[in-house]
Every structure is written in structure tokens, then in C-alpha cells.
């Protein structure tokens, strides 16, 4: 029995178009890079050029289980030496977003240089600020308010 083509696939909280190739489609999941997508396809022996909408439900479940197993080499993981546990982790989707928020809050709380830069909305990684990062803030000299002609006679 051939299963019908699925237009939209939901994996790890991400909606993916069924027309995409498996290799590119997996990168649409937040926290999965092209290298990790390649590793997943190689581990499961999936055709990278096959449309993800044509994969069976069992294959999609295998993809999710491989991502959750966290059985990749350390250099492929996105959270090495976690501050809390000290382990090498790989976080995806909402877990990654939540942990990133917590890290920034921690930096602000301890008032380190990076935390202060985050709270002021300035660049954190040493970029220059003279010509870039000038959106949303008052830049330049303030002009005195212009008096109307009807106010003076």
C-alpha cells in the first residue's frame, strides 16, 4: 500500500512543506543545521533528495526519535557543557528558544558586560557602533523647537 503524499508535515513543533527535499526540510526545524540534517539522513539511510511529504509515518517517527535520542558527536551539538548540568546537550524548537532566553536573563542578572549590552540593546560581540546599530535610538543633535510665526508679531 502506498501512502498518499502529505502537503504539510509537523515534526518537533515545526510545520514543513511536503514538497521540500528531506535534507532541506529538516533544517526548517529550529536547532537543526544542515550538518545535523545530513547526519540524520545518513543514520536512518534516507534518500536526501526524496520529498518529505512522501515519507511514511514510521519514518517520520524514526526521525523524531533520532533527534530526541541526542546520539550525535559532541561537535554537532548546539549546547556544549551546559551551565546547569555540565553535559553536552542538543536542544531543538521551543526548548532552544527558552534556554536562550534564560541565558540572556542570567547575563543581565549578574550584570556582566554582555548582560549590560543586551539590556541596553547594543551589540554584544564587539562590533562598532558609530555607523551601525543606529535604529530606534535618538541619533545626532536635538534641534530647538521651532516657534510658529503667529506667536511672534
| Every domain range in the chain assigned CATH 1.10.8.50 | 8-75
Contact 72/90 with Cβ under 8 angstroms? yes
- CATH node for 8-75: 1.10.8.50
Instruction: Please give the model's pTM, rounded to 2 decimal places.
Output: 0.68
User: b/e for 18-51, b at 16 or more Cβ within 10 A?
Assistant: eebebbebbbbbebbeeebbebbbeeeebeeeeb
The per-residue pLDDT string of the chain (153 residues; one tens digit each, 9 = 90 and over) reads: 456 888 888 888 888 888 888 889 999 988 888 998 998 898 888 888 888 888 888 888 998 898 888 778 888 888 888 888 888 888 888 888 898 899 899 999 999 999 988 888 888 888 888 877 776 665 566 667 766 776 655
Amino acid at each position: 500500500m502506498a501512502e498518499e503524499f502529505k502537503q504539510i508535515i509537523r515534526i518537533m513543533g515545526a510545520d514543513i512543506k511536503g514538497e521540500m527535499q528531506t535534507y532541506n526540510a529538516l533544517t526548517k526545524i529550529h536547532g537543526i543545521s544542515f550538518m545535523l540534517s545530513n547526519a540524520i539522513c545518513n543514520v536512518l539511510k534516507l534518500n536526501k533528495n526524496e520529498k518529505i511529504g512522501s515519507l511514511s509515518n514510521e519514518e517520520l517517527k524514526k526521525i523524531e526519535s533520532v533527534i530526541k535520542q541526542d546520539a550525535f558527536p559532541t561537535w554537532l551539538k548546539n549546547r556544549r557543557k551546559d551551565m546547569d548540568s555540565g553535559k553536552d546537550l542538543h536542544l531543538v524548537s521551543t526548548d532552544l528558544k527558552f534556554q536562550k532566553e534564560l541565558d540572556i536573563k542570567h547575563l543581565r542578572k549578574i550584570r556582566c558586560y554582555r548582560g549590560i549590552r543586551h539590556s541596553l540593546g547594543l551589540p554584544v560581540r564587539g562590533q562598532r557602533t558609530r555607523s551601525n546599530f543606529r535604529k530606534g535610538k535618538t541619533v545626532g543633535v536635538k534641534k530647538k523647537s521651532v516657534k510658529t510665526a503667529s506667536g511672534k508679531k
